[in-house]
Amino acid sequence: MSDHRMAPVDARASAEPVPVRPVPAHEPPYYAVVFTSVRTDDDSGYGETAERMEDLVRGIPGFLGMDHARTPGGLSVTVGYFRDAAAIEQWRSDAEHRTAQKRGREQWYERYTVHVARVERSHDYEHANGYEDANSRVDGNGSRREPGDG
């Protein structure tokens, strides 16, 4: 998950503070791979494999980061951000990743969907230091626009 950590569903359940930040906006165009899933009750080996996959994907040239969230009802959404389609293909075809995907279909997932989208515009926002701090937007032409410009 790059340097971004998943927020616990109940933050009070965490003994130590967990910094929670979305992946920052990047210069478009880039790609978002959205993996939405519902898991089975069988968690054996899942955590270790997920950690290994996160370590592996960080080594892919063009990997920009990852966001992840899971609802109390069990819907999980992971969004991986990649600079280009070649980076996605390198990740998709990684032998260790393919083995983990096979195990996921056999053991960990009731169902899942994968969506790949090209990001044409991106912006981020952070409320910090008691005032609002909005970063400028970046569109697919590399043009910077201030928040509120559409």
How many angstroms separate the CA atoms of 1 and 150, rounded? Answer: 30
CATH topology of domain 24-124: Alpha-Beta Plaits (3.30.70)
Per-residue pLDDT of 72-82, as tens digits, reads 999 999 999 99
Measured in degrees and rounded to the nearest 5, phi and psi for residue 144 equal: -90, 135
Host H or E run for residue 148: none
pTM of the model: 0.77
Helix (H, G, I), strand (E, B) or coil at 92: helix
Q: How far is CA 33 from CA 25, 81, 130, 134, in A?
A: 15, 6, 34, 25
The arrangement of strands across the sheet holding 137-139 comes to 121-122, 137-139, 144-145
Can you give the pLDDT of all 150 residues of the chain as single tens digits?
Answer: 334 444 444 433 456 667 788 999 999 999 999 999 999 999 999 999 999 999 999 999 999 999 999 999 999 999 999 999 999 999 999 999 999 999 999 999 999 999 999 999 999 888 775 555 455 555 555 555 555 555
